[in-house]
Amino acid sequence: MWGVYCLKTIPDQDLIDPILSGKTNRIYNSSTVNVVWQYLYNMRLSKLKGLTEDDQPVDGDKRGIDKLKYASDKFVQTIHKYRKQNLFWKKISIPEGEINSTIRLEEVPFSETSYKDKFLGNITCSIDFKPKMDPKPVIPLNLLQVAATDFIDSMLEINPDLKDKPSIYPSDILDMYHFSFSNVNIYPAQGVLHLRDYMDTPTYNLRLLSPNGFGGIMFSRSFLLNVYKLIPGDVPTFDDEYSLAMAKLVKKARSVYNGLKKGTWKGHTYELSTYLDLTKAFIVHQDRFDYNRTDKVLRPNFEIRCNVGWEIVDGIKNTPEDSPLSKEEQQEFRQYLKNRFKNFDIGY
């Protein structure tokens, strides 16, 4: 719908010039800026392809519909090839840490009807970001830009025809695939944060959830950088003591685990499961209800939980099926362990 709206709504030149040049004392809202950039993109694309309304298929133009279906199928094949090359996620290293991005496609089978509806599917990108902890974590302001740019550049590597031969892909066919971000998770050491809990809802909806036509962000890098631009205040920052406090908390939890690892309970011997990498046995949760939305600083207000799987009781794994304990005893034993960890402010 963006392409249709912007073609019919032509911004005044007095509005275009200052936004394009950046030389303005006026502050424009995001919607106004996006309209201008989308309009410029459409103008550029029209000149590039030399397309007119006469080039578009009309009812009964089977040859034109077949060409569009071919272009759509090739595009979908390119996305499937990208996903095959990056089965679980794509690792992207940046100075602030490591991005793991995952692309999903919900496609609508191409037909004359779906073409008229101007919607052929959703392309969503989810991000798991693992920031470096020394001296403290940083959520980079170009996080969305980097993920989107890497995906588009990878698509162009797989299928250079997407850009080298634009006549294969009519001006509007790629914009019928809507690109957006589904979620962004931050993993500082053993911690986990959901960015939606710490961003202002309007900003989160605009920058992450609002769909953009894939053609728009592919053919215009400046448009992509604009719509996925984050500014200071959009994402939280971390307190200077954040990394040190988390490291101390995890160290304490490991010591408690080692102290409680073996014992006896009502005549039964037990042992907690052993992790080769014990750090993975602990998850640190940020107290999102104790978050100052004015300064947007994440302070070390943590809850830590230990999860090492099923215990070994009398040499047998304490699963519901195999446990030597009765159902009531299993519940009582699990509560016993929870209470012991709770004495040290650790969840179990």
pLDDT of 2 reads 41
Which pLDDT belongs to residue 185? 97
pLDDT value for 47: 42
308-341 in b/e form (b: 16+ CB < 10 A) is beebbbeeeebeeeebebeeebbeebeeebeebb
What's residue 167's pLDDT? 58
Note the pTM of the prediction, 2 decimals.
0.77
Domain ranges of the chain: 52-237, 242-347
Pairing of strands 262-265, 237-238: unpaired
pLDDT given for residue 169 in this prediction: 73
Output the pLDDT for position 153.
96
Residue 271 · residue 312 · CB < 8 Å? yes
Q: What is the pLDDT of residue 309?
A: 87
pLDDT at 308: 87
Q: 257-267: per-residue pLDDT in tens?
A: 999 999 999 99
Q: Which residues of the chain have pLDDT under 50?
A: 1-9, 20-24, 27-28, 44-55, 58
The pLDDT assigned to 39 comes to 56
Task: Please give the pLDDT value at position 297.
Answer: 95
pLDDT (0 to 100) of residue 283? 93
**Contact between residue 123 and residue 218 where contact means Cβ atoms under 8 Å apart:** no
Asked if the bond preceding 95 is cis, omega within 30° of 0, the reply is no
